[in-house]
Amino acid sequence: MPITALLALAMTGFICIITETLPAGLLPQIAAGLGMSTSLAGQTVTAYAMGSLLAAIPLTIATQGWRRRNVLLLTIIGFLVFNSITALSSNYWLTLAARFFAGVSAGLAWSLLAGYARRMVPAHQQGKALAVAMIGSPIALSLGVPLGTWLGTAISWRSAFALMSALTLVLIVWVLATVPDYPGQASHERQPLRRVFTTPGVRPVLAVVIAWMLAHNILYTYVAPFVAQAGLAAHVDVVLLIFGVAALVAIGVAGRLVDHHLRAAVLASLAIFAVVSLLFVWLARVPAAVYAGVTVWGLTFGGAATLLQTALADTAGEGADVALSMNVVAWNGAIAGGGLVGGVLLDAWGAQSFPPVVVILLATGFAIAWLARAHGFKVGSRHAHVKNTSAID
């Protein structure tokens, strides 16, 4: 396993997540620094998400023929440039533009990372390689975001973004030193968007991504009012830390299960998360139950990226990069949708309305995954499926 190179990809994902979420913990400071309301400062998060949503598919298609390391370096340089602008800018619109284009960099990066990790290793190690490459996300969520927020509060919000730029400089050297280069796809190998989308199994996997991530983000986005029901409003940081550590453990578990038990792992994760959400209907006001439930929730979520991206890439075959760009759109769309749906539920019926809706979404995702046994979430070892596909080709 090329661990050093895979960790460089993990570091890229870490920077993606930190860059995306850092403003959320520093909105009052950003608002004061730019001389505007907190709600306007919050649009820096929206601008980033819009950049990822709009750019992932077209940029992935446009760069299919480029050498892979050049594309990876382009995304990292994008973070360097646009985080630096954010750190230095005193103009709201310039900051907003920088955030949008940082999101563009992230959209392309997320489309690239899974396919890159899989390409570094033989088929039987692809699941484990992807698990290593994805480890940056839970580390960023559980440790990086709180540390960045603390730094921004203790010194200045600009220093937090400057630190991200410094990390990207280190990452550029790291990639050049350790990450192998690969050619892009020849023109006759590239598959059009419509063909990839209509490949059997691609749409069911994307549907599961949307249902699962929408359910997750309703709870995660509004975790503060949800845990406040149990009197834990002052301990949201502890709740998020527990969730992050559990998710980190789950990535290691997913790396062991993905090659031989991918279907079972997806179904079990959805079912267990649904059971926990159902218990929250009655136990959301009990602190011990909330802590235990959040731990199990983190364990079911941590491997999601590894499991779903592996299933999608296996199903799409030569169209994996394009399919993974669709995954970026589905994933970020679910993040935005979770914020929207959760906000409507919170305003209309309060945080107690979250668990029933989450259960319905997870049951829908479970049903889709269960039915996709022929394509998408196949029965048996994925290594056998990959070998059979290669033999047919």
**What is the SS3 assignment for 95?**
helix
pTM confidence score:
0.82
Last residue of a domain, one of 138, 164, 187: 187
| Centroid of chain to Cα 33 | 29
243 and 106 in one domain? no
195 and 169 in one domain? no
Last residue of a domain, one of 139, 167, 187: 187
Q: What is the C-alpha separation between 66 and 345, in angstroms, rounded?
A: 45
pLDDT confidence bin for 382, thresholds 50/70/90: low
pLDDT confidence bin for 98, thresholds 50/70/90: very high
- Residue 393 in domain: no
Q: Look at the block and give the residue holding tokens 């090659």.
A: 259
Q: What is the C-alpha separation between 73 and 87, in angstroms, rounded?
A: 21
Q: How many CA atoms lie within 13 A of 7 on its CB side?
A: 8
Whether pLDDT at 143 is above 80: no
The domain containing residue 297 runs over which residues? Answer: 191-387
pLDDT confidence bin for 393, thresholds 50/70/90: very low
Q: What is the C-alpha separation between 139 and 319, in angstroms, rounded?
A: 29
Residue 337's pLDDT is: 84
Of all residues in the chain, the percent with pLDDT exceeding 70 is 94
Count of the separate structural domains present in the chain:
2
Residue 292: Cβ-neighbour burial (10 angstroms; 0-12, 13-18, 19+): middle
Whether pLDDT at 388 is above 60: no
- Residue 116 in domain: yes
- Residue 197, Cβ neighbours under 10 Å: how many? 16
Question: Which range (150-154, 240-244, 352-356, 373-377) has the least confidence?
Answer: 150-154
